[in-house]
Amino acid sequence: MSKKILISGVGLWTPEHVITNEELVDSYNAYADKYNAENAAEIDAGNVVAKPHSSAEFIQKASGIKQRYIYRKDGALDVDRMRPLIPERTDEELSHQAEIAVVAAKKALAAANKKPEDIDAVIVSCAYTQRAYPAVAIEVQHELGISGFAFDMLVACSAATFGMHRAYEMVAAGNARAVLVINPELVSPQVNYTDRDSHFIFGDVATATVVESEETANAEHVFDILSTKAVTRFSNNIRSNFGYMSRAHDADPYGADKLFHQEGRKVFKEVCPMAAEHIETHLQQHDLAPADVRRWWLHQANINMNLLIAKRLLGREATADEAPIVLDRYANTASAGSVIAFALHHDDLQRGDVGVLCSFGAGYSIGSLVVQKR
Ligand code: CO8
């Protein structure tokens, strides 16, 4: 390919509300006690399983998460509700997800030194969109005053990287001068706060990147995309069954299987080797070895996963400078984790430094970009 395609700007929106592990566990344990008291007879008869207590120590040790951000804190910790309270907006108002997308997008545009008229396409790529249509991306496009076209795409944890892949291809094909890829990960409505196995995992955030060609780029921190690589392999180990079919089958549309649920241990065991092999093969395409990589912006689901993958690749532990961790603060933010790491840890790299941005998760899906500081 003759013209180089690059990432020229990144934006990050962080919610103002925080839930610490301690707050989350206190609320869940109060809920569990109430549930067990209300169901005491059925639990004693063996018909209902008692809810065990959660523990802040377990959460930090098993995942590395200390806190998470949430778009609206009201309701999520209320033992009589256990889900966030986010008032519905009218069709005339900007939707919640578009609102957070716009904030991240504006920051990415500013970082890339771009105006709305410089952008030809908008991709909103994330784990959930709040409605089927009109596409949230088209709403965002309208709000920002961008011409051209926009669309939504869903690839769970790999939505952000897969979105950047599509942007890369669109710019390479000459179908767009510059593409805005936005990841408004408003995941808290799908978290089962009554399930101790998963109540701690997720946080809300929005990230955005600008992908354009070297012909138009004029920002301060610019990264050539050397190539992109993706793989998917079907697995039921991470699943959410919520969807429009609920109305037709009469099952509870908010039942536990309709929310996020997973076989966390299996995911850990199956995804780690898959991700390490994927990254190694991707680097080989450029005659690069893991030791040649200055920075790893890895998916942020579990600190032990990231340590293991980095160790497999490097043969030793990666330093925090080499493979920054943001999930202690942000928790798992679905597809945005690696982009948050990139947003917070990219401007110290020197010309020629190589970095790898990689997501892994539900699907299974793995998406990587090998980039080089210009
Ligand atoms: N407090 C105390 N004990 C607990 C808790 C808790 N909160 N939770 C579980 N335990 C108990 C378990 O019940 C178990 O007890 P026992 O041994 O008696 O059965 C014991 O602790 C050990 O449990 P696990 O084996 O499950 O513990 P792990 O060490 O495996 O840790 C993790 C659990 C942290 C979930 C870990 O397995 C993990 O992170 N795995 C990787 C999962 C992963 O990366 N998934 C990706 C999901 S994200 C994604 O793909 C995006 C989806 C779209 C976004 C959705 C947004 C809503």
In a domain, 198, yes or no: no
CB of 156 within 6 A of ligand 1: the answer is yes
53: CA distance to ligand 1 center in Å? 14
pTM: 0.96
331 Cβ partners below 8 Å, 6+ apart? Answer: 63, 65, 67, 68, 69, 200, 201, 202, 203, 300
Q: Which of 130, 261, 265 to mutate to test the pocket of ligand 1 (most atoms within 8 A of CB)?
A: 265
Per the structure, the count of domains in the chain is 1
CB of 32 within 6 A of ligand 1: the answer is no
Helix (H) / strand (E) containing 193: none
In a domain, 34, yes or no: no
Taken in order 212, 336, 317, 271, the sign of the CA dihedral is negative
**Strand, coil or helix: what is 247?**
helix
Residue having the nearest C-alpha atom to atom 36 of ligand 1: 264
In a domain, 279, yes or no: yes
CB of 29 within 6 A of ligand 1: the answer is no
CB of 75 within 6 A of ligand 1: the answer is no
> Quick one: tokens of 315?
């043969």
291: CA distance to ligand 1 center in Å? 31
Sequence letter at residue 315: G
In a domain, 110, yes or no: no
| Beta carbons within 10 angstroms of residue 4's beta carbon | 17
264: CA distance to ligand 1 center in Å? 5
When computed from its CA atoms, the radius of gyration of the chain, rounded to whole angstroms, is 21
CA separation for the pair 271, 367 (Å, rounded): 12
In a domain, 281, yes or no: yes
Task: Give the model's pLDDT for residue 1.
Answer: 56
CA distances from 120 to 87, 169, 366 (A): 33, 13, 27
In a domain, 32, yes or no: no
In a domain, 322, yes or no: yes
CB of 63 within 6 A of ligand 1: the answer is yes
Residue having the nearest C-alpha atom to atom 25 of ligand 1: 265
> Quick one: tokens of 330?
């942000």
157 labelled catalytic: yes
CB of 191 within 6 A of ligand 1: the answer is yes
CB of 267 within 6 A of ligand 1: the answer is yes
CATH number at residue 232: 3.40.47.10
Phi, psi of 367, deg, nearest 5: -135, 130
CB 31 within 8 Å of CB 82: yes
308: CA distance to ligand 1 center in Å? 16
Per-residue pLDDT 10s for the chain (374 aa) are 578 999 999 999 999 999 999 999 999 999 999 999 999 999 999 999 999 999 999 999 999 999 999 999 999 999 999 999 999 999 999 999 999 999 999 999 999 999 999 999 999 999 999 999 999 999 999 999 999 999 999 999 999 999 999 999 999 999 999 999 999 999 999 999 999 999 999 999 999 999 999 999 999 999 999 999 999 999 999 999 998 998 999 899 899 999 999 999 999 999 999 999 999 999 999 999 999 999 999 999 999 999 999 999 999 999 999 999 999 999 999 999 999 999 999 999 999 999 999 999 999 999 999 999 99
DSSP code, position 220: S
In a domain, 16, yes or no: no
| Domain coverage including residue 302 | 223-373
CA separation for the pair 70, 187 (Å, rounded): 9
147: CA distance to ligand 1 center in Å? 43
Q: Which residues are paired to 18 by β-bridges?
A: 69
